[in-house]
Structure 1
Amino acid sequence: MAATDTRRQIVEAADRRFYEQGFEATSFADIAADVGLSRGNFYYHFKAKDEILDAVIALRLDNTKAMLEGWEAEAATPRERIGRFVHILIANQTTIMAFGCPVGTLSNELAKLDHVARRDAAELFILFRRWLARQFAELGRTADADELAMHVLMHSQGVATLAAALGEEDFVRREVEAMDAWLDAIAAGTEPASSPD
C-alpha cells in the first residue's frame, strides 16, 4: 500500500474515532488498530496526536467544501441550498443521535481542553456561516444575512445536541419541518429575522 493511501486511512480512522469517542479519549493504539498498523509504521506518518488532529480538521474542511460545492451545483435556488444544510439533521440522524454533530462535538471538546487547534476546528462553523450568509443574501436578505445564517447554525446545533441527549427521533423531524416552514417564509419575504419556534 502506498504511503499516501496509508496516511489517508489513518486520517479517516482518526476522524471516525474523534467523532465517536472524542479526541482526548482516542489513542494512537486505537487508530493504529483500526488501520492494522504497528506503532512503528504509524509513527512514520504521524509523530504526535496533534498532527493527526490537524489532518482530521483539514479533511473535514475539504469534505465540507466539496459538499457545499455539490449543493451549489445541484440546487437551483438559495432556498433549496439552505434546505440541504437543514436536512443534514435528517440524513445523518442516526449518527447525530448517537454521537452529536461532528463539528460541534469536536469544537466543544477542544474548547474545554483549551487546545491550540480549537480555532482551526471553528473554521468549519465559519465556513458554514459564510456559505449560509451568502445564500440568505441571494434571497435578498443582505442586511441580515449573517444574523439569519447564525440562526440556522444555532438551531441545527441545538437540535443535534438535544437529539443526542434525548434520543427522540420525532423531535428531529419536527424541528426540521419547523425550520423548513421558517425558511419558506424567509424566501417569500413574509418572515422577519427571528428564529423558528
Structure 2
Amino acid sequence: MSNSETKNRIVFTASELFYQQGFEATSFAKLSSALSLSKGNIYHHFKSKDQLLNAVVNYRLKQTQDMIDCWDIANTTPEDRIMDYVKIVIRNWHKIKLYGCPVGSLSNEMVKLDYPSESVHRVFTLFRHWLKSQFIDIGASDKADEYAMHILSWSQGVATMSAAFKELDFVHKEVDRITSWVNSLRQHPN
C-alpha cells in the first residue's frame, strides 16, 4: 500500500472513530488497533492529533462538497436541492440514531474542548453558504441567511431527537413539516 493510500485510510478510519467514539476518546492506540497499523506508522503521517483532526475536517469538507455538487447536478430547482439536504436525516437515520449527527457531534465536542471554532465548523459553514444561495435562488434574498440557519438548526434538532428517542416516525413527520415550509416559499419567499 502506498503512503498516500495509507494516509487516506488513516483519515477515513479516524473520521469514523471520531464520529462513533468521539474525538477525545479516540487515541492513536485505538486508531492503530482499528487499522492494524503500528502507532509509528500513524505518527509518520500525523505528528499530532490536531493534525489528524484537521485532515479529518478537510476530508469531511471534500465529502460534503462532493455531495452538494451531486445535488446541484441532480436537481433543477432550489427547493429540490434544499430537500436533498433535509432528507439527510432520513437517509442517515440508522447512523444518526446511534451516534447523532457527524458534523454536530464533532462540533459540540470541539466547543467543549475549546478548539478554535473556525477549524471545526467549516462543514456547517459550507452548508450554510450553500443553503443561503438556494434561498436566494428561490427569491428570498432578504431572509436567505436566516432561512439557511433555520434549516441547519432544524436538522440538528431532529438529529438530536433521533439519537435520544430513536423514533423514525418523528423524523418523517418533521421532514414533511419542513418540506411544506420550503414549498410555501415558492409563493411567498420573504
> Fold conserved (TM > 0.5)?
yes
Q: Which residue matches 1:34?
A: 34
Is 1:143 paired with 2:136? no
Q: Distance in 2 between matches of 1:123 and 1:33?
A: 29
Superposition map of 1:41-80 within 5 A: 41-80=41-80
Say which SS state the counterpart of residue 144 (structure 1) adopts.
helix
Give deviations 1:67-123, integer Å, cap 9, x for gaps. Answer: 11111111110000000000001100110111111111000000011024x321111
Q: Distance in 2 between matches of 1:41 and 1:148?
A: 45
Superposition map of 1:4-153 within 5 A: 4-116=4-116, 118-153=117-152
Q: Which residue matches 2:176?
A: 177
Give deviations 1:143-164, integer Å, cap 9, x for gaps. Answer: 1111111111111110001111
Q: Distance in 1 between matches of 2:163 and 2:108?
A: 14
Q: Which amino acid aligns with 1:103?
A: V
**TM-score of the superposed pair, with normalisation by structure 1:** 0.93
Q: Which amino acid aligns with 1:40?
A: G
Q: Distance in 1 between matches of 2:105 and 2:118?
A: 14
The answer for unaligned runs of 5 or more in structure 2 is: none
Length, aligned pairs only: 190
Q: Distance in 2 between matches of 1:71 and 1:120?
A: 25
Is 1:156 paired with 2:168? no
The answer for unaligned runs of 5 or more in structure 1 is: 193-197
Q: Which residue matches 1:168?
A: 167
Q: Distance in 2 between matches of 1:187 and 1:85?
A: 18
Say which SS state the counterpart of residue 115 (structure 1) adopts.
coil
**TM-score of the superposed pair, with normalisation by structure 2:** 0.97
Deviation of the 1:187 alpha carbon:
2.1
Q: Which residue matches 1:195?
A: none
Quick one: percent identity of the two aligned structures?
A: 45
Say which SS state the counterpart of residue 141 (structure 2) adopts.
coil
